[in-house]
């Protein structure tokens, strides 16, 4: 049965390619038994699909657990049908418990809770209003009733649909509004055929509550996935990705490709790319996280907005890194002589910013005050000053070709921007540390001293 | 009724701020009648909310039309309840038509069609499989039946939930898989209590088809909103936004702020920011557009992938512009003397790239071959060469402070990157023009000649 479903999905996905191929090869040129070729094609695709599924499971084993949890929740609510006493009290209304489980059960606790609360409240509110609408429509007689009901349904559907366009409401209450439209329409219309509207609302509400609670309870108790924890980790790992790039950038940029090796096959330098498009994911996780109760080190009113602020600054830094990355692979590169003059300073700037970002990432992960990061930021700022001094001292002689200076100057300037961005990120991480009262742990191993002057810890 | 709903939404949105305020002010310090203050607060919020709604409608009047369409569709399917002959044949199953309309009716034709087809096919497939499961379970006797059914429901829910994690399937068939789980569970479980499973499937399928067709027909016939057209416009307008920035950048960067005016209040220079985060929106629109039939100038197999490629290149250019924007407002700016030496070349580079982007945007909008864009790109490339010549000729004297050269060199280098990006964008727009056989219209007004050499039209 499942195999049938999977083959359907694959063939649907593959229809486009397959049909294009058919056209390419030409129907006449292919001879008859095309079925053999097609079945081989399907076999390859099925194998590819299974290896993709295995990879999905290996990448994040919580996905496998979530699927089993969804199966469990659904099997549990189907007891409403199998167990006679339960079926006696709810009858076909038990269907709503099943529907609720299917649509409410989401990957994270926050998403499940958000949808559950939205569904519950919307059903309650819409149920109440639909009863009122039914009573009002009842007053207008058998012929007037459907007209009045129709007007009510039209008006509420139109207004609620329009309100769903409001971005602030869409972010948190979109599902609630959908359920509001659904429940109000169903109950007020059913009232035309069935006068037991109150009982209908009562049963609906009860089954939705049972379905919703089943989801929430399983979601919270069985290997819970917290959106807040995911957002926390995402912000930290994004910072770490930028740190890895910056740590590697200096050496990679100033190294001359001597033995014809290509610089482009450096996967550790490509990790930052996912940061560029992380906004949607961060926003969604923050929205889910707001529904979550206290768990582990996260309170109910955890400062998720501060996480989004840190995320935005990290992305700003990633845009600069994207520009830097362009220079890594640029065709025209400055001669070794010119680059070597600022190599040390630029490498330090990049390396120290990278270390600072990795320290900040680690500080978020462990929720410990980022002392070492401040020192690295001081070091990177000192390098900026060193670069200024170098440039002022008339680093280049008269024979230096300005054309060759430009790319190096650009890289230096982008690195200065990165240092500024890193300092901004550090500042907002420090704000977060103050808000959440991060643990203060004195560093056991003293980090390297800055190159010039004394480090002023905590100035950034 | 609607007012009640709106006030609920606003107060829910506002609860957080309100409760924080309460804590801040201190409960004791506030005296008794807090209700007056609260009602004033709610009044302000309601007024703000209404002006937000009016703005939403003014920004895109299609939203108002969509809301009315949703109301119309829902009122139409509710005839199943009001009209006796219809109710006689479907009974409470008519409910599924109402549910289908509420959940399937989306803003664009593509999204509605995609959801409708997903829902229809998933109901058909799951219905068929559920009947088979019901027959199999029937063989195992009254006690074995719920156990066999339970195992089926668990397995299909777990596998389908896991398959939903697959990104390629999630993009197009996520809703179908959800409905598959829902329908299979409901029908196979209902079979335990009601032996008329086939009739159940038949009625369900028919009502879903009626609900889905109502949505699709209203969506297509009454002021249709095409996701493909929206994607087309979005790609063009994103390019235009970058063009507007680049056209303004040169003058803005080289202008010295003499009368203490701030450069930051230039809204036309901030328009590009929305391009940075447009990936999610573009991907969603492309997914919807793939479901859409031929409409206007768009075919069924329109090359939406090429639009996404152009979108990605536009974003790449936007990242460079984000770096440039940082230099616009940088504190340390090079002295007028230094800047003025490359002012003309840089302004031309920026201006010509901007014009090229605006031409390309216009070419996409009007579906006419972008001849003029090629000329502007040639002009910008000539400026890059001019800059090279200027730099080689030893532009700066010995007294020039290199520290002051760095920011100007960076801006020049970023502009060179922008010229490269623009040429890449032009190339992919030309590919699109070839794919879609854009109209060839010879320019009536001859655009400016490039500064050096002859323009080679069409080389980019």
Q: What is the pLDDT of residues B279-333, one digit of tens each?
A: 999 999 999 999 999 888 888 788 999 999 999 999 999 999 998 888 876 645 5
How far apart are the C-alpha atoms of B237 and B229, rounded to whole Å? 12
**A334 CB-near residues (< 8 Å, 6+ apart):** A404, A405, A407, A408
Write out the DSSP string of A157-185.
HHHHHHHTTSHHHHHHHHHHHHHHHHHHH
Taking an 8 Å cut-off on Cβ atoms, the answer to whether B409 and A410 are in contact is yes
Long-range contacts made by residues A11-20, C-beta under 8 angstroms, separation at least 24? Answer: A11/A42, A11/A45, A12/B172, A12/B173, A13/B168, A13/B169, A13/B172, A14/A41, A14/A45
How far apart are the C-alpha atoms of B362 and B168, rounded to whole Å? 33
How many residues are recorded in chain A?
Answer: 460
How far, in whole angstroms, is CA B398 from its chain's centroid?
52
Is the pLDDT confidence value at B18 over 50?
A: no
Neighbours of B286 (CB within 10 A): 21
Q: Which residues of B touch A319 (CB under 8 A)?
A: 276, 319, 322-323
Q: Which of A357, A361, A365, A371 is nearest to A441 (CA)?
A: A371
How far apart are the C-alpha atoms of B119 and B109, rounded to whole Å? 15
Name the percent of chain A lying above pLDDT 90.
Answer: 48
pLDDT at site B328: 79
CB-based contact (8 Å) between A171 and chain B?
no
For residue A359, the distance in angstroms to the closest alpha carbon of chain B comes to: 25
Band of pLDDT at residue A21, cut at 50, 70 and 90: very low
pLDDT at site A105: 95
**B43 CB-near residues (< 8 Å, 6+ apart):** none
Residue B367, by phi and psi: left (phi above 0), alpha (psi -120 to 50) or beta? Answer: left
The lowest-confidence range among B110-124, B333-347, B370-384 is B333-347
Is the pLDDT confidence value at A39 over 50?
A: yes
Place of tokens 């996480």: A307
Is the pLDDT confidence value at A176 over 60?
A: yes
How far apart are the C-alpha atoms of A62 and A60, rounded to whole Å? 5
The single-letter DSSP state of residue B57 is: H
Mean pLDDT throughout A65-79?
Answer: 94
Predicted TM-score (pTM) of the model is: 0.85
Place of tokens 């845009």: A319
What is chain A's mean pLDDT, rounded?
A: 83
**A330 CB-near residues (< 8 Å, 6+ apart):** A407
Q: To the nearest 10°, report the CA torsion of A252, A256, A259, A260.
A: 80
Q: Which residues of A touch B4 (CB under 8 A)?
A: 129
Band of pLDDT at residue A20, cut at 50, 70 and 90: very low
Q: Which of A285, A262, A253, A183 is nearest to A407 (CA)?
A: A253
Question: Which of A74, A125, A160 minimises the CB distance to B157?
Answer: A74
Count of alpha carbons within 13 angstroms of residue B198, beta-carbon side: 2
Tell me the pLDDT tens digit for each residue of A270-320: 889 999 999 999 999 999 999 999 988 888 788 999 999 999 999 999 999
Q: Which residues of B touch A394 (CB under 8 A)?
A: 402
Question: Which of A156, A189, A316 minimises the CB distance to B1?
Answer: A156
pLDDT at site A450: 43
The lowest-confidence range among A84-98, A152-166, B305-319 is A84-98
CB-based contact (8 Å) between A396 and chain B?
yes
Mean pLDDT throughout A378-407?
Answer: 75
CB-based contact (8 Å) between B245 and chain A?
no
Q: Which of B106, B100, B215, B119 is nearest to B173 (CA)?
A: B119
SS3 A439: strand
How far apart are the C-alpha atoms of A392 and A130, rounded to whole Å? 77
**Chain B residue at shortest CA distance from A386:** B403
How far apart are the C-alpha atoms of A375 and A381, rounded to whole Å? 10
The single-letter DSSP state of residue A295 is: B
Place of tokens 């010995």: B398
Quote the Cα angle for B330-B336-B341, to 5°.
110
**B225 CB-near residues (< 8 Å, 6+ apart):** B62, B66, B107, B108, B109, B219
Q: Which residues pair with B298 in a beta bridge?
A: B295
Taking an 8 Å cut-off on Cβ atoms, the answer to whether B391 and A403 are in contact is yes
Q: Which residues of A touch B98 (CB under 8 A)?
A: 182, 185-186, 189
The single-letter DSSP state of residue B444 is: S
Mean pLDDT throughout B419-448?
Answer: 81
CB-based contact (8 Å) between A348 and chain B?
no
Contact in structure between A122 and A183 (CB atoms under 8 Å):
yes
Tell me the pLDDT tens digit for each residue of A213-261: 999 999 999 999 999 999 999 999 999 999 999 998 888 887 766 555 5
How far apart are the C-alpha atoms of A189 and B101, rounded to whole Å? 14
Name the phi and psi angles at A281, rounded to 5: -60, -45
Tell me the pLDDT tens digit for each residue of A316-352: 999 999 988 888 766 455 556 667 778 888 899 999 9
Band of pLDDT at residue B86, cut at 50, 70 and 90: confident
For residue A445, the distance in angstroms to the closest alpha carbon of chain B comes to: 37
CATH T-level topology, domain A227-255+267-394+403-436: Methane Monooxygenase Hydroxylase; Chain G, domain 1 (1.20.58)
CB-based contact (8 Å) between B304 and chain A?
no
**Chain B residue at shortest CA distance from A49:** B166
Q: Flag whether the ipTM exceeds 0.90.
A: no
The single-letter DSSP state of residue B448 is: P
pLDDT at site B460: 33
Write out the DSSP string of B125-189.
HHHHHHHHHHHHHHTTHHHHHHHHHHHHHHHHHHHHHHHTTSHHHHHHHHHHHHHHHHHHHHHHH
Band of pLDDT at residue A6, cut at 50, 70 and 90: low
The lowest-confidence range among B149-163, B294-308, B397-411, B416-430 is B397-411
Mean pLDDT throughout A165-172?
Answer: 91
Compare B453 and A364 and report the one with higher pLDDT: A364
């Amino acid at each position: 049965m499942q195999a049938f479903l999977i083959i359907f999905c694959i063939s649907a996905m593959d229809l486009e390619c397959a049909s294009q191929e058919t056209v390419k090869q030409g129907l006449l040129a292919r001879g008859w038994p095309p079925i053999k070729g097609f079945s081989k094609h399907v076999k390859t695709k099925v194998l590819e699909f299974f290896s993709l599924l295995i990879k999905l499971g290996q990448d994040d084993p919580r996905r496998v657990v979530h699927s089993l949890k969804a199966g469990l929740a659904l099997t549990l609510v189907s007891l409403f049908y199998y167990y006679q006493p339960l079926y006696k009290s709810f009858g076909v209304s038990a269907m709503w418990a099943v529907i609720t489980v299917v649509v409410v059960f989401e990957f994270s606790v926050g998403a499940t809770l958000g949808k559950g609360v939205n569904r519950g409240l919307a059903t309650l509110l819409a149920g109440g209003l639909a009863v009122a609408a039914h009573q009002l429509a009842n007053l207008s007689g058998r012929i007037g009733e459907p007209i009045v009901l129709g007007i009510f349904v039209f008006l509420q559907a139109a207004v609620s649909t329009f309100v769903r366009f409001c971005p602030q409401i869409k972010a948190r209450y979109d599902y609630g509004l959908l359920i509001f439209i659904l429940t109000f329409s169903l109950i007020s219309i059913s009232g035309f055929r069935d006068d037991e509207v109150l009982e209908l609302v009562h049963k609906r509400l009860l089954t939705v509550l049972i379905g919703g609670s089943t989801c929430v309870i399983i979601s919270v108790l069985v290997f819970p996935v917290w959106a807040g924890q995911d957002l926390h980790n995402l912000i930290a790992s994004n910072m770490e990705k930028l740190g890895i790039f910056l740590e590697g950038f200096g050496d990679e940029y100033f190294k001359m490709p001597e033995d014809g090796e290509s610089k482009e096959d450096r996967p550790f330098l490509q990790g930052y790319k996912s940061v560029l498009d992380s906004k949607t994911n961060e926003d969604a996780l923050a929205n889910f996280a707001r529904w979550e109760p206290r768990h582990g080190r996260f309170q109910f009113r955890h400062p998720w907005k501060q996480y989004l602020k840190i995320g935005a600054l990290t992305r700003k830094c990633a845009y600069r890194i994207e520009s830097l990355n362009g220079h890594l692979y640029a065709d025209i590169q400055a001669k070794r002589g010119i680059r070597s003059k600022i190599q040390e300073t630029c490498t330090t700037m990049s390396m120290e910013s990278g270390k600072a970002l990795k320290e900040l990432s680690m500080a978020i992960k462990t929720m410990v005050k980022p002392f070492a990061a401040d020192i690295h930021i001081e070091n990177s700022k000192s390098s900026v000053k060193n670069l200024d001094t170098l440039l002022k001292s008339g680093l280049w002689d008269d024979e230096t070709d300005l054309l060759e200076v430009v790319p190096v100057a650009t890289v230096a300037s982008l690195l200065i921007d990165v240092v500024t961005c890193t300092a901004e990120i550090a500042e907002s991480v420090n704000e977060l540390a103050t808000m959440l009262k991060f643990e203060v742990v004195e560093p056991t191993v003293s980090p390297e001293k800055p190159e010039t002057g004394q480090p002023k810890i905590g100035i950034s």
